[in-house]
A = this chain, B = another copy of it.
Amino acid sequence: MTKKTTAKQRLRAPSKRSLASRSRILDAAETVFARDGFEGAKVRDIAALAEVPLGLVNHHGGSKEALFREVVERRAEELARLRLEALAQAKGQGALDLTAILGCFFRPYLAKAAGSDPQWLAYARLVAMVSADPAWADVSTDLFDPTAQRFMDEICALYPKVSRAVVAEGFVYSVAALLAFLTSEWRIAALASQSDAQGSVEGLVAFCAAGCAARIAQAET
């Protein structure tokens, strides 16, 4: 041995081909997990979609659960950063009201989902799964709660007299509406009896801001 290495240190950088495989596996996993759920997804389907042999999925992603966590983590950091940047920028331009705060939370996600990368829409379903299932509570705690707490701080500062529980209630309802917006277009269209029905960002923000305001006003009396 010419060189000492610690256990976890990589001996050399991954090759270009390796990185491409890895990226394709993560993209495929995201799509399949979003479509079929964690239990319903099959590692074989992920391998087929990524066009890599079955063995490579485990080689790169580890166990199915580790792969799922990796997929969720991948975009969570970028999302949190975009949200906090939007908040910081809005604060620099003057005092914030409820609509502005929720807008900073919603818009970065919606911009990504509506933008060029269609994988962000699949990701919305993953977030909905994680948020709804107590089995993934640790993922929520690690990846999503810190940002949520930061936004709730802003709302609490606006309404110093209401308890944090009331703000949390409104915030959870708002996130539920956001996820419904992203994942339930088919349902809105079915109920509206027309195929072109689609919610608007402004409509979503209006709904949530007014809802939160009403819930807070109720608590203040």
Contact = CB atoms under 8 A, between A and B. Distances in A.
A121 to B, nearest CB: 13
Q: Chain A binding site: helix, strand, loop or mixed by DSSP?
A: helix
Contact of A192 (B38, B164, B180): B164
A164 B145 contact: no
B207 A188 contact: no
A132 B207 contact: no
Nearest to A183: B132
A187 B131 contact: yes
Interface residues of A, number: 64
Interface string A27-39: 0000000001111
A153 to B, nearest CB: 11
A168 B148 contact: no
A141 interface: yes
